[in-house]
Structure 1
Amino acid sequence: MIEVPPGRVTLSDRRTRRSWQVDVAPCLLGAFPVTQGLYAEVTGGRPASSGATRGDRLPVEGVSWWDAVRFCNALSVRDGHAPAYRVDGDGTADGPERIAWDESANGYRLPTEAEWEHACRAGTTGPHYAPLDEIAWYRANSEERLHEVGGRRPNAWGLYDMLGNVWDWCWDVYDPEVYGTYRVLRGGGWFDEPWSIRASARRRSHPTYRVDDVGFRVARSGVPGRASSYPGVMY
């Protein structure tokens, strides 16, 4: 986990041409997307889309938003933390009453999209935190397949694969008035063109959706342990 300092981020949506500012509290964020190896270790399962490459260091894919939420709770229990989510139901039907985030819990959870973008940018303001070919697996260089996590340059705070390889599920509902319970995806994937591989790019999908370029990474609220005077401390 990497310490992400507090800050303020401006989110924007191309569809609605709307932008809004969000204050972000300090948090911890996974240095890498959750891997197939970790997912199997915690859950006993190894999801993968048909024909997809398998490997312990590859990001897990073919996981729904519900799968990601349940993984977060299982990882919290394994590590002795209070689960962040109260889950009612099996994830085959959606409704805001079926899941709740206990913000006082110290367990693992999905990042909010404001946390995600703030962490992705790591103090930068452009579409990428470094030249795209140095930091991301995307359509032009991925050979149209997944790659092991950590194979490209991290951002200034030590976070890898924030752009490219797999999209990350976020906690947030995308636009409840238009899309109901569709959740936010961030970061772009191995099959995407450069215009999708941007710090500000937002995508949406139903929380039961599973596909071969969507994964997730975990977050935790606050910064447990010792205080740090600089960002990028790995726990």
Structure 2
Amino acid sequence: MDTGERGPTMIEVPPGTVTLSDRRTRRSWAVDVAAHLLAAHPVTREQYAHVTGAPGPGDGTGRLPVESVSWWDAVRYCNALSEREGLTPAYRVDAGGDLVHRDASADGYRLPTEAEWEHACRAGTSGPRYGPLDDIAWHRGNSGERLHEVGGRLPNPWGLYDMLGNVWEWCWDVYDAEVYGAYRVLRGGGWFDEHWSCRASVRRRSHPTFRVDDVGFRVARTAH
């Protein structure tokens, strides 16, 4: 599992169907998910600093997941990583810097959709989690109320680490435009969350400029 300067280790996620649900509208809907690539773990502080030129890691090590990053920070990181690796950036940001368009044909890095994230998290399992919580996730009950290095818990059956716990992860999708406007989806639960928040189906929302110490992200790529 690479956490350094060589770029993310990407896992091949097979196609499938996942059922999403919305608590406000009490609606559920099935989504067909195409095959795609998803990083084995969240972006680390070392990776983020190497790609963006941002200051190096703070307390702890570069293997900690980067946090206090906004959805916009994640979008810009994806484009910067794509350019570094000679790939076509997945996002085009308008001149004003407040709108972003996704190029579905691009081979570069991007954020996973909410459906891709949940499908990958479940990894063919049907329960709320892909294993016993203490074995697979850092949460309030076992984290010591702090971040932990990526890959410290067991992966899911497809080889993805930290899908639950440690840091919440930004997804591409708008959460509920009718009520929350531009707010984007967060998934997975974090190091400060109770066990009930660390489930494959749990959704959280936040403004795309929001930064806090339990929110990070991982990158995806479209399979070509």
User: What is the TM-score with the length of structure 2 in the denominator?
Assistant: 0.93
1:100: Cα distance to partner?
Answer: 0.1
1:90: Cα distance to partner?
Answer: 6.5
Answer whether contact 1:9 1:24 (CA < 8 A) is retained: yes
| Greater RCO structure (CA 8 Å; 6+ sep) | 1
Aligned amino acid, residue 61 of structure 1: E
What is the CA deviation profile of residues 33-75 of structure 1, one whole-angstrom value per residue up to 9, with x for unaligned ones? 0000000000011488xxx734210000000000000000000
SS of 2:110's equivalent in the other structure is coil
**Structure 1 moving runs of 4+ over 6 Å:** none
Kindly indicate whether residue 105 of structure 2 is the aligned counterpart of residue 69 of structure 1. Answer: no
Map 1:41-60 → 2, pairs under 5 A: 41-46=50-55, 53-60=59-66
In the comparison of the two structures, how many residue pairs are matched?
215
- Give distance in 2, aligned partners of 1:208 and 1:46: 19
Match in the other structure for 2:87: 81
1:195: Cα distance to partner?
Answer: 1.0
User: What is the TM-score with the length of structure 1 in the denominator?
Assistant: 0.89
- Give distance in 2, aligned partners of 1:18 and 1:46: 43
Map 1:20-169 → 2, pairs under 5 A: 20-46=29-55, 53-89=59-95, 94=98, 98-169=99-170
The Cα RMSD (Å) is 1.4
Answer whether contact 2:39 2:160 (CA < 8 A) is retained: yes
What is the CA deviation profile of residues 200-219 of structure 1, one whole-angstrom value per residue up to 9, with x for unaligned ones? 00000000000000000000
- Give distance in 1, aligned partners of 2:56 and 2:35: 32
- Give distance in 1, aligned partners of 2:27 and 2:67: 30
Answer whether contact 1:87 1:99 (CA < 8 A) is retained: yes
Query: What are the ranges of 5 or more consecutive residues in structure 1 without an aligned counterpart?
Result: 225-235
1:88: Cα distance to partner?
Answer: 1.8
Aligned amino acid, residue 113 of structure 1: E
Q: Among residues 2, 16, 21, which one is paired with 1:7 in the alignment?
A: 16
User: What is the identity percentage for the equivalent residue pairs of Structure 1 and Structure 2?
Assistant: 76
